Amino acid sequence: MENLFLSSRSVNYRNDRLQLCMLNLKTKPFMKWAGGKTQLLDKLIDLFPPEIQSGEIKKYAEPFIGGGALFFYIAQSFLSIEKFFIADVNEELVLVYKAIQRDVESVISLLATLEKNYHLLNRNEQKNFFYKERDNFNAQRIHIDFNNFNDYWLERASTIIFLNHTCFNGLFRVNSKGEFNVPFGNYENPKICDAENLRGVSALLQKTEIECADFSFNDKFIDRETFVYFDPPYRPISKTASFTSYSKYIFGDDAQKKLFRYYKTLSEKGAKLMLSNSDPKNKNPTDSFFEDLYSEFYIQRVDASRMINSDKNGRGKIKELVIMNYAKDNFV
């Protein structure tokens, strides 16, 4: 495994994290992400296992990292946690995390140049600039070695962040070939390069193991001192609600069942587990897919807002499921 737990610049990781907390520097997700958990943070925090507050939890794992809202919160809030593991099957996303971990200043420099050039243009020129960057990004994909860090990663990482902040709805969507295909966002004055936040992200990644991998890859990392949060692609609650194109892989019911079996295996190891997914009963009161699958665990319904839907009438308040292998006094 490539050692990315870097460099002399990072000095003392625990002190870096402590300084972030003392300065109340709220490092936040640097990518917009469909299904991101920023809006649900308060509800998820309220359902954390007691052991995370008492300091018994020493490790944290998030196998579907996405935008990483919960990871960033936990890494800044619980200094008793000494090791972190994050993963995703989306190799482009993992490349960005590793590039920021390895050389954040180069990513910032490249991204700042993109931002400056973009904001010098009128709206029509910005649109042309966006599509040129998107075309180059897709054309260069076949030349990228996703397994070994090199300087091309830095340019690609900055381009991914640029596209994410200037495309429609801030989506990350790819086709079956892995090509980014989200259209231009047409925003008035998007913030593209948040240098200080990226530096905060890099500081929090210094003692984090990052892998491009299936959710079960982190099995050896996890023990009874580990808190694991699963945020897989959600099971569609209607035929028109599906958005699973974060990567070129499909996450259907068979994958949901495979994830359940892995969840059960980790529970038997004594790890504390939390999993989010859609509530099928938003549309079909008789659909008990998750309640049947996770019948031996604790299931909590929480209020959420659906923001991504081609039909604006399909957006709004819905219920989501949070599934845990531990009890909480505030379960309803």
Determine contact, residues 55/79, Cβ cutoff 8 Å: no
**87 contacts 212 by C-beta, under 8 angstroms:** yes
Spell out a b/e string for 202-221, using b for 16 or more CB atoms within 10 Å of the CB, else e: bbbbbbbbbbbebbeebeeb
Q: How far apart are CA 147 and CA 112, in angstroms?
A: 26
CATH number of the domain where residue 229 is located: 3.40.50.150
Residue 138, domain CATH: 1.10.1020.10
Average pLDDT estimate for 32-53: 91
- Per DSSP, what are the bridge partners of residue 85? 61, 209
Instruction: Give the C-alpha separation, 90 to 69, whole Å.
Output: 17
Look at 54 and 308; give whichever has higher pLDDT.
54
82 and 56 part of one domain: yes
Contact, 215 vs 262, CB < 8 A? Answer: yes
User: pLDDT tens digits, residue range 186-201?
Assistant: 999 999 999 999 999 9
- State the maximum Cα–Cα separation within the chain, in Å, rounded to a whole number: 58
Q: Are residues 80 and 105 in the same domain?
A: no
Q: In which residue are the tokens 């997700």 written? A: 29
162 and 142 assigned to the same domain: yes
pLDDT above 60: residue 307 = no
The predicted-structure confidence for 145-191, as pLDDT tens digits, reads as follows: 999 999 999 999 999 999 999 999 988 888 888 899 999 999 999 99
Shared domain for 48 and 32, answered yes or no, is yes
Q: Is 234 within a domain?
A: yes
What is this structure's pTM? 0.88
d(CA 89, CA 318): 27
Q: Once rounded to an integer, what is the mean pLDDT over residues 49-65?
A: 96
In a domain, 179, yes or no: yes
Q: Is residue 49 part of a domain?
A: yes
What is the rounded distance in angstroms from the CA atom of residue 107 to the CA atom of residue 102?
10
Structure-model confidence comparison of residues 238 and 67, the more confident one:
67
Could you tell me if 144 and 164 lie in one domain? yes
Least confident of 19-28, 292-301, 308-317, 320-329: 308-317
- Report d(CA 329, CA 260) in Å as an integer: 24
Q: Is position 244 within any domain?
A: no
How far is it, in rounded angstroms, from Cα 283 to Cα 279?
A: 8
Task: Dump pLDDT digits (tens) for 72-83.
Answer: 999 999 999 999
My answer on whether 59 and 163 are in the same domain is no
User: What are the CA-CA distances from residue 23 to residues 26, 41, 200 (Å)?
Assistant: 9, 21, 11
> Is residue 176 included in any domain, yes or no?
yes
- List the structure tokens of 111: 């991204």
What pLDDT digit, counting tens, does each position of 204-253 carry?
Answer: 999 899 999 999 887 889 999 999 999 999 998 765 444 444 555 678 89
The stretch 7-20 carries a mean pLDDT of 50
Q: Is residue 198 part of a domain?
A: no
110 and 214 assigned to the same domain? no
Percent of the chain past pLDDT 90, that is, above it, reads 73
Which pLDDT belongs to residue 314? 47
Q: Please report the pLDDT score of residue 331 as a whole number.
A: 60
The mean pLDDT of 113-139, rounded to a whole number, is 98
Q: Give me 261's structure tokens.
A: 């079996």
How do residues 21-37 score in pLDDT, each as one tens digit? 545 558 999 998 887 78
Is 61 in contact with 84 (CB distance < 8 Å)? yes
User: What is the domain count for the chain?
Assistant: 2
Instruction: Detail the DSSP E strand segments found in the chain.
Output: 59-62, 83-88, 208-212, 226-230, 272-278, 298-306, 316-324
Phi-psi region of 66 (alpha: psi -120 to 50; beta: other; left: phi over 0): left
- 170 is a domain residue: yes
Q: Would you say residue 20 lies in a domain? A: yes
Are the C-beta atoms of 63 and 87 separated by less than 8 Å?
yes
For residues 175 and 110, membership in a common domain is answered with: yes
pLDDT digits (tens, 9 = 90+) for 245-276: 455 567 889 999 999 999 999 999 999 999 99
- Cα atoms found within 13 Å of the Cα of residue 65, Cβ hemisphere only: 34
- 228 with 308, same domain: the answer is yes
Judge residue 289's burial from the number of C-beta atoms within 10 Å of its C-beta, 0-12 exposed, 13-18 middle, 19 or more buried. middle
Q: Provide the residue type at 196 as one letter.
A: E
Residues of the domain holding 277: 8-89+207-238+254-324
Indicate whether 218 and 297 sit together in one domain. yes
Q: Which residue has the tokens 């808190």?
A: 227
Q: Are strands 316-324 and 272-278 parallel, antiparallel or unpaired?
A: antiparallel
Clarify whether residues 214 and 289 are in a common domain. yes
| 221 plus 279 within the same structural domain | yes
Mean pLDDT over residues 74-97, rounded? 95
Look at 2-16, 59-73, 74-88 and tell me which has the smallest mean pLDDT: 2-16
Match 């960057």 to its residue by tokens: 133
